[in-house]
């Protein structure tokens, strides 16, 4: 069953959603706010840019939507009198002044479940969260495609409770723009603590939710991408995700530990907030550390595209993320049958699985350690036979088949580390 926040509906509120405010006044505030957004997304108190630029009458304060499946991440004694405020920006819901973090599950159909899980962290500069385009919409897509998703509503920096005061407070931040986005050191400790708590909770309830506790990832957008990058560096194995995906986050170089998880990156090169100094330090840091990394750099798309698809290419990012998860063996049940390894399996798949590789190293060690096999990852061993007839004899291939058939590619199949 796919658990939802409000039945999948985004409620439309009649008229302008700002109480006691005339339309003209609201539109002037909208224009002022949109002008200030570009100036503040690059900061740790930033907001997404593209997601707030669509003219609409749906602008301003809305009632707090129902969240029947949201799970509190803090115990009763730690919880506060939450005074979070919700608002519409275009057709996207935003929430701010979050003091009680929650985690909302979106679970796939058991028949389609892959066993993988992803915590989803929306962005909004740690002063607000873009709950639809960078949260619920992402989670729904993942759940529909067999991945259990969990939307994290994490604690934020306090802003004026009244909407006009919030808009005014954001207008003075623009002088602090930096070319390549904020530093991870500026991530609020409370937000990072909530991210860690989310991963721990998913693992603690893995059996209940039908997920593998060793295939729990973390994806974040903008400020949420800062959380994703930070989560890749945490020392606590119980809280560190098995893979991370910072989407249009800071690209500054980091000191990458030897146990850093595999990373997927997606960003537009015309992002005015994260690519100003034209550095790909984050990506090269992972690469130089010998850790798995895949990067998708789009020519155009700006900042904050989320699930809105401003260009055809950026509209493919989530499909590419899913494909990467599958290539990295974080997905099961998606065309991967148990015990299906054989000499007709592509060499890349065999070499990437330590158990299958161990079989090849034992039976054909000379070939496994040669450049020939590493340059032929798209071929199978049987296709390689004409090039190495003295090594890949029929009896050897049959012996390899017998050993590979013992390997279960189901739940025990190890993801890429």
The string of pLDDT tens digits covering residues 9-47 is 333 322 222 333 333 333 443 433 333 343 333 333 333
Predicted local confidence at residue 33, as pLDDT: 38
Predicted local confidence at residue 409, as pLDDT: 60
- What is the per-residue pLDDT across 98-147, written as a single tens digit (0 to 9) for each? 999 999 999 999 999 999 999 999 999 999 999 999 999 999 999 999 99
Q: Which of 120-124, 228-232, 266-270, 369-373 has the lowest mean pLDDT?
A: 369-373
Backbone torsion region of residue 278, taken as left when φ is above 0, otherwise alpha when ψ lies between -120 and 50, otherwise beta: left
Question: How many Cβ atoms sit within 10 Å of the Cβ of residue 46?
Answer: 31
Predicted local confidence at residue 126, as pLDDT: 94
Is pLDDT above 90 for 317? yes
Phi, psi torsion values for 372, nearest 5 degrees: -55, -45
Phi, psi torsion values for 193, nearest 5 degrees: -65, -40
- What is the per-residue pLDDT across 179-212, written as a single tens digit (0 to 9) for each? 667 888 889 999 999 999 999 999 999 999 999 9
Contact residues for 244 (Cβ-Cβ < 8 A; gap 6+): 217, 218, 219, 228, 229, 231, 232, 261, 262, 263, 264
Predicted local confidence at residue 167, as pLDDT: 76
Contact residues for 50 (Cβ-Cβ < 8 A; gap 6+): 301, 302, 303, 304, 305, 308, 310
Go through the domains of the chain in sequence order and give each one's CATH number.
Answer: 23-327 (3.40.50.1820), 347-404 (no CATH)
Predicted local confidence at residue 290, as pLDDT: 92
89 band by pLDDT with thresholds 50, 70 and 90 = confident
- What is the per-residue pLDDT across 271-284, written as a single tens digit (0 to 9) for each? 998 988 888 999 99
pTM: 0.76
Is pLDDT above 60 for 377? yes
Average pLDDT over every residue of 391-408: 90
336 band by pLDDT with thresholds 50, 70 and 90 = very low
């Amino acid at each position: 069953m796919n658990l939802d926040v409000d039945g999948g509906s985004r409620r439309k509120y009649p008229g302008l959603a700002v109480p006691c405010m005339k339309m003209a006044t609201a539109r002037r505030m909208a224009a002022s706010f949109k002008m200030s957004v570009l100036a503040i997304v690059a900061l740790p108190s930033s907001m997404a840019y593209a997601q707030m630029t669509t003219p609409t009458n749906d602008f301003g304060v809305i009632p707090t939507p129902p969240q029947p499946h949201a799970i509190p991440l803090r115990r009763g004694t730690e919880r506060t009198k939450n005074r979070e405020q919700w608002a519409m920006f275009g057709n996207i819901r935003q929430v701010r002044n979050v003091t009680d973090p929650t985690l909302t599950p979106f679970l796939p159909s058991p028949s389609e479940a892959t066993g993988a899980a992803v915590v989803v962290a929306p962005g909004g500069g740690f002063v607000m969260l873009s709950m639809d385009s960078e949260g619920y919409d992402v989670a729904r897509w993942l759940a529909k495609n067999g991945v259990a998703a969990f939307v994290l509503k994490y604690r934020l920096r306090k802003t004026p409770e009244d909407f006009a005061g919030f808009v005014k407070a954001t207008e003075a931040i623009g002088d602090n723009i930096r070319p390549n986005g904020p530093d991870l050191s500026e991530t609020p400790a409370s937000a990072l603590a909530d991210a860690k708590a989310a991963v721990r909770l998913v693992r603690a309830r893995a059996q209940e939710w039908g997920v593998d506790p060793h295939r729990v990832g973390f994806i974040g957008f903008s400020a949420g991408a800062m959380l994703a990058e930070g989560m890749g560096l945490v020392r606590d194995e119980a809280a560190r995700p098995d893979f991370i995906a910072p989407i249009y986050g800071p690209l500054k170089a980091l000191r990458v530990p030897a146990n850093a998880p595999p990373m997927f990156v997606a960003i537009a090169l015309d992002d005015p907030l994260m690519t100003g100094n034209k550095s790909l330090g984050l990506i090269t840091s992972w690469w130089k550390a010998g850790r798995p990394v895949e990067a998708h750099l789009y020519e155009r798309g700006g900042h904050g595209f989320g699930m809105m698809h401003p260009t055809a290419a950026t509209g493919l990012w989530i499909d590419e993320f899913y494909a990467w998860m599958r290539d990295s063996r974080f997905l099961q049940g998606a065309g991967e049958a148990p015990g299906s390894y054989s000499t007709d399996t592509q060499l890349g798949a065999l070499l990437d699985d330590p158990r299958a590789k161990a079989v090849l190293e034992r039976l054909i060690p000379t070939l496994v350690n040669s450049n020939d096999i590493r340059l032929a990852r798209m071929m199978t061993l049987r296709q390689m036979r004409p090039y190495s007839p003295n090594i890949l004899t029929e009896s050897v291939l049959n012996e390899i088949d017998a050993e590979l058939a013992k390997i279960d590619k189901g739940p025990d199949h190890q993801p890429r580390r």
